[in-house]
Chains A and B, each alone.
Chain A
Amino acid sequence: MEPLIQHEGVVVPLDRSNIDTDALLPKQYLKSLEARGFGGFLLDNERYLDPGELDTPLATRRENPDCILNVPPYRHASVVLAQANFGCGSSREHAVWALRDFGVRVLLAPSFGDIFYNNCFGNGLLPIRLEQAVVDHLFAQCWHSPGLRASVDVARRELVVGDTRLVFELDPGRQQNLLQGLDDIGQTLALAPAIRAYEAERKLSEPWVFR
């Protein structure tokens, strides 16, 4: 996974609550066996005027000019600003892959769906929970200055957007993983002896669990 140390990019404002993972990446794209190549399908239902499938060439599709992702400064946005419960619903990590493949590295919202929030860190994306008042102020700045940019420093846990500068919360473990681009499995396997010891105890106390 690609490390995230410092990031700077255009903020795309998506001013809605409960943007679900079905909206971020519709079902038909879940038929892929790969974990890459979903960027063109992010927010597919509102991004295009015609329906698409996994094998529909993107160049043949009609873009919806009303979708903010099709408007010039936002075509290359890498920071998403949204309202509460962003990424709720289906556990599909494909939604995170679509954001990542589009180029998104940072997400700002009052809250995130629990599964989505976890999925972000496995892919080098940083979701930042902010107070509602801060989010409202960031939206106001976005409307006032289209194409507004944000910068994030993961080591210092610092976010700067326009006149807003703040230190956000981030678990130290997740922070390290982002900074070093580490994936969890290798680290967990270093604890294999502890897992085996636990298993041995459970096999005695709850043998029926082990088929």
Chain B
Amino acid sequence: MNAQTLYDKLWHSHHVADLADGASLLYIDLHLLHEVTSPQGFSNLRRADRKPWRSGSIMATPDHNVPTTGRESSVTKFSDPLARKQVEALTDNCADFKVPLFPLGDLRQGIVHIIGPEQGLTLPGMTVVCGDSHTATNGALATLAYGVGSSEVEHVLATQTLRSRKLKNLAVEVTGTLGPGVSAKDLALHVIGVIGTAGGLGHALEYRGSTIAALSMEARMTLCNMSVEAGARTGLIAYDATTEAYVHGRPYAPVGAMWERATTYWATLHSDPDARFDRQVDVAAAEVAPCVTWGTSPEMVTAIDGHIPLLESAASESQRNGWRRALAYMGLEAGQPVAGTPLDKVFIGSCTNARIEDLRQAASVLRGRHVHSRIKQALVVPGSGLVKQQAEREGLDKLFLAAGFEWRAPGCSMCLGMNPDRLQPGERCASTSNRNFEGRQGLGGRTHLMSPAMAAAAAIAGALVDVRSM
């Protein structure tokens, strides 16, 4: 057997059959479902009189449109009847088709990509899909994980497989030590700045090198999560002792003799030393600074001590037009420094940055400080009931509340603004989420993406600021 990349290995171990036209049928081990992209798939199954191929491969939870307030009692108060209907449809569909569900009110409910790894549902060596583009988060555990549309959700429900075409391999080799105040989020934004939002199209992106080996599991999830913003459907990281320590003891992880067998196999889940990548991008960790986006695409990003580029420096007319439109939308000028830009709201949450380490990092900046009077609203939305519980055990909820943040119940919240947590037109937000698209956090809202520590610092300053100065 020729030397293989991690992606190649996962591809081959899930290969069921070759299809006539060069595509392959890939077996899917874990299927995560949520309320927004699954109802059509279930309806079609019903219509065609089909059943899920393997209900045990599925875990469902409501996250996208759930309110983050009014969750204290056993029955969640929805202000939006359509959202309630969608969550009820998920509950009904799961009951009808015997699909396991973490419902609202269950401590294990949370953002799908956070609860998969948290529960040990996501295990190394698996293929993981979900009707959500940030499924690549799960790739941090040496899985092949990617987002699919609703037709493919239905296809996986009905057949446990996907018709797939092999991607190319792109290595992102990161070496050295990240500086103080610099996190995996900054590294992700930096990489997107280097390769662009279309740079990873058609590729599986493997993060490797000494910097990656030194990252915690949660930091690795943040990094893999943002792969899709670099155009790559999937991002992944080799299995190592950090992965093993993370998975050990999780509720759905194997135990005893089965654990021993599993870890023996998992130890092979890395690219072979002489594996060939189609492309490689090298990043020196020491050159990564805390990053913020200034525009309406994640590639419109700069170090916090940098400037918005001048229009003359655009590589093409199309890019120049894109920048012009973005600056008009964002209410910013070419050439201006990003630091000091005043803010209206702060959002700490999302599948990118709502795990316990993210909350700890934000809290460490906020300790003994208070949100600036200019900030109309500052939200912390933990990624799952268990993250929330752990944070409360550590007293982080009290720290956030004392600093002037609101402490909410888990869900996707203001990352996409499907629930009531939204920006109003013109409002400017420091956000730990993953997309700064026009209208993403609310019609006319202006998003600046950054790390949890940077968002906390921005809350205190009431403006974009370098966390290293605080």
Interface residues of A (CB under 8 A from B): 15-18, 20, 22-23, 26-28, 30-35, 45, 51, 54-55, 83-85, 88-94, 96, 111-116, 118-119, 122-123, 171-174, 176, 183-185, 188-189, 191-192, 194-195, 198-199, 202, 205-211
Q: Which listed residue, B82, B229, B321, touches A16 by the CB 8 Å rule? A: B321
* B337 proximal to A (CB < 8 A): no
Q: Nearest Cβ in chain B — how far from A137, in angstroms? A: 14
Q: Which listed residue, A17, A172, A184, touches B319 by the CB 8 Å rule? A: A17
Are B17 and A211 in touch, CB under 8 angstroms?
no
CB contacts under 8 Å to A, within B117-147, are 123, 125-126, 131-133, 146-147
Chain B residues contacting A35 (CB-CB under 8 Å) are: 40, 43-44, 150
CA A31 to CA B83, docked complex, whole Å: 6
Are B37 and A92 in touch, CB under 8 angstroms?
yes
Q: Which listed residue, B50, B53, B258, B439, touches A207 by the CB 8 Å rule? A: B258
* B417 proximal to A (CB < 8 A): yes
Could you mark each residue 268-292 of chain B with 1 if its beta carbon is under 8 Å from any beta carbon of chain A, else 0? 0000000000000000000000000
A-B contact count (CB 8 A): 205
Return 5 A-B CB contacts under 8 Å, by A number.
A89-B435, A113-B231, A172-B20, A185-B155, A209-B126
Are A185 and B133 in touch, CB under 8 angstroms?
no
Q: List the one stretch of B21-29, B206-214, B378-386 in contact with chain A.
A: B21-29
Who on chain A is nearest to B130 by CB? A91
* B85 proximal to A (CB < 8 A): yes
- 14 further contact pairs, Cβ within 8 A, besides A17-B318, A91-B147, A122-B151: A18-B297, A30-B418, A51-B443, A85-B198, A93-B131, A93-B151, A114-B201, A119-B152, A173-B20, A189-B159, A191-B25, A195-B27, A206-B262, A208-B123
Q: Nearest Cβ in chain A — how far from B349, in angstroms? A: 16
* B56 proximal to A (CB < 8 A): yes
CB contacts under 8 Å to A, within B160-185, are 160-161, 163, 165
CA A115 to CA B64, docked complex, whole Å: 19
Are B201 and A91 in touch, CB under 8 angstroms?
no
CA A23 to CA B149, docked complex, whole Å: 17
Q: Which listed residue, B25, B82, B126, B202, touches A194 by the CB 8 Å rule? A: B25
Q: Which listed residue, B233, B252, B440, touches A115 by the CB 8 Å rule? A: B233
- The interface centre, meaning the residue of A114, A183, A209 with most chain B CB atoms within 10 A of its CB, is A114
Chain A residues contacting B228 (CB-CB under 8 Å) are: 89, 115
Q: Nearest Cβ in chain A — how far from B73, in angstroms? A: 23
Are B147 and A173 in touch, CB under 8 angstroms?
no
Who on chain A is nearest to B440 by CB? A22
B contacts with A, residue count (CB < 8 A): 83
Q: Nearest Cβ in chain B — how far from A61, in angstroms? A: 13
Chain B residues contacting A207 (CB-CB under 8 Å) are: 258
CA A151 to CA B126, docked complex, whole Å: 43
* B89 proximal to A (CB < 8 A): yes
Q: Which listed residue, A90, A118, A188, A210, touches B159 by the CB 8 Å rule? A: A188
Given A91-B131, A208-B262, decide whether A114 and B231 contact each other with a Cβ distance below 8 A.
yes
CA A198 to CA B154, docked complex, whole Å: 20
Chain A residues contacting B21 (CB-CB under 8 Å) are: 171-174, 176
Are B133 and A91 in touch, CB under 8 angstroms?
yes
Chain A residues contacting B131 (CB-CB under 8 Å) are: 91, 93
* B39 proximal to A (CB < 8 A): yes
CA A112 to CA B233, docked complex, whole Å: 12
Which are the 9 A-B pairs with shortest beta-carbon distances? Answer: A173-B21, A93-B149, A122-B151, A119-B149, A208-B254, A85-B198, A91-B147, A31-B82, A91-B133
CA A111 to CA B201, docked complex, whole Å: 8
Chain B residues contacting A123 (CB-CB under 8 Å) are: 151
Who on chain B is nearest to A174 by CB? B21
Are A27 and B417 in touch, CB under 8 angstroms?
yes
Are A28 and B418 in touch, CB under 8 angstroms?
yes
* B433 proximal to A (CB < 8 A): no
Chain A residues contacting B152 (CB-CB under 8 Å) are: 118-119, 122
Given A26-B439, A191-B16, decide whether A211 and B202 contact each other with a Cβ distance below 8 A.
no
Are A194 and B17 in touch, CB under 8 angstroms?
yes
Who on chain A is nearest to B36 by CB? A30
Chain A residues contacting B233 (CB-CB under 8 Å) are: 114-115
CA A94 to CA B56, docked complex, whole Å: 27
Q: Nearest Cβ in chain A — how far from B420, in angstroms? A: 12
Q: Nearest Cβ in chain B — how far from A35, in angstroms? A: 4
Q: Nearest Cβ in chain A — how far from B329, in angstroms? A: 10
Given A89-B133, A115-B147, A195-B27, decide whether A15 and B318 contact each other with a Cβ distance below 8 A.
yes
CA A169 to CA B65, docked complex, whole Å: 39
CA A182 to CA B211, docked complex, whole Å: 47
CB contacts under 8 Å to A, within B231-254, are 231-233, 252-254
Who on chain A is nearest to B133 by CB? A91
* B437 proximal to A (CB < 8 A): yes
Given A113-B231, A115-B233, decide whether A195 and B57 contact each other with a Cβ distance below 8 A.
no
Chain B residues contacting A173 (CB-CB under 8 Å) are: 19-23, 163
* B406 proximal to A (CB < 8 A): no
CA A199 to CA B163, docked complex, whole Å: 16
- The interface centre, meaning the residue of B123, B131, B133, B321 with most chain A CB atoms within 10 A of its CB, is B133
Are A209 and B201 in touch, CB under 8 angstroms?
no
Are A195 and B159 in touch, CB under 8 angstroms?
yes
Are B17 and A191 in touch, CB under 8 angstroms?
yes
Are B198 and A206 in touch, CB under 8 angstroms?
no
